[in-house]
Structure 1
């Protein structure tokens, strides 16, 4: 079944309890969604836990989804809220897992750049980092990103401007 052209059909099947249809939903959203969660919390294991918890919630809430865009927005929004709750319970600790950078996957320069980017992103306040990841990293529109975060577009633009300014300043050092 072709994901892009049969999204409504896949959702309808999943809503009726078709496990294969829900597997297709996960298969076609997990890469982008997991990447977002990883950059949100900088901990691969926590990102996996967040993804799993959010997909469980998605199973329970499938009737709400009518389009692929709404599904992504909903997944990202629930992940953001889940991470915020986790951070509150863990005294706002954030982790960076540099062990998962593999020399087999990247050249040494590329690894160093990834480390530098992760270190800079980790220093950006979570609300500002989320705006940067959603718009610049994941390609969401300002409207979609604002909806996911739960703020106005103007507030998103402000956060994005400050996050970009900080990122550029730190990456030049």
Structure 2
């Protein structure tokens, strides 16, 4: 994995095993968080790598007052916001497909439908206002509690709830208005894709 190769030279042997565990446990959620914020899976991979490098370089700042995943989410959000500020003059490309491992025996029509739904959903998420996109991605895609979302974003729990509510309303409107997907049924988005 690219992240592990780039971090290998930065750590000492005493921390290598714990670093590997931290990356393994948090990498998919960090990528999904950033993917939800940017709408581009390849950029999400790059920014996730940058997140882990920044976390390792500033590991002495982690005081253990929150979970390490909360600390990593905060670094990922800040890294993504910095990236978006730098690129604010240019429009991002539409969301690319999230690569998932699908069962080879799965019906090709079902695979195609899931891919289309996933692409449509992440495109809709990427069009949310930044504040709502951050809250929605942390809560709904990464499964953080509302309290964790508030802590990661340094906002009140009430504000996190309100932003989540607004994000859900905007997504519902976006996904049901004039796009031909009114009757697509229900689905659940997980770190492994759409179920």
**For this structure pair, what is the TM-score category when the shorter chain's length is used for normalisation?**
0.7 to 0.9
Deviations 1:85-144 (A, max 9, x none): 111111164333435568x77612112211221221122112101111111111111111
**2:98 pairs with 1:94:** no
Q: Moved runs in structure 1, 4+ residues, more than 4 A? A: 99-102
Q: CA RMSD in A?
A: 2.6
**Residue number among 163, 170, 173 corresponding to 1:169 in the alignment:** 173
Contact 1:15/1:62 (8 A) holds in 2: no
Residue 130 of structure 1 corresponds to: 134
The structure whose residues are more often helix, as a share, is: 1
TM-score by length of 1: 0.79
> Comparing both chains, which one has the higher relative contact order based on Cα–Cα distances under 8 Å and sequence gaps of 6 or more?
2
**CA separation in 2, counterparts of 1:152 and 1:165?**
20
TM-score by length of 2: 0.71
Instruction: Summarize the alignment of residues 7-18 of structure 1 with structure 2, pairs less than 5 Å apart.
Output: 17-18=14-15
Residue 33 of structure 1 corresponds to: 30
Contact 1:32/1:138 (8 A) holds in 2: yes
Contiguous gaps of at least 5 residues in structure 1? 1-13
Count how many residue pairs are aligned between Structure 1 and Structure 2: 159
**CA separation in 2, counterparts of 1:172 and 1:48?**
30
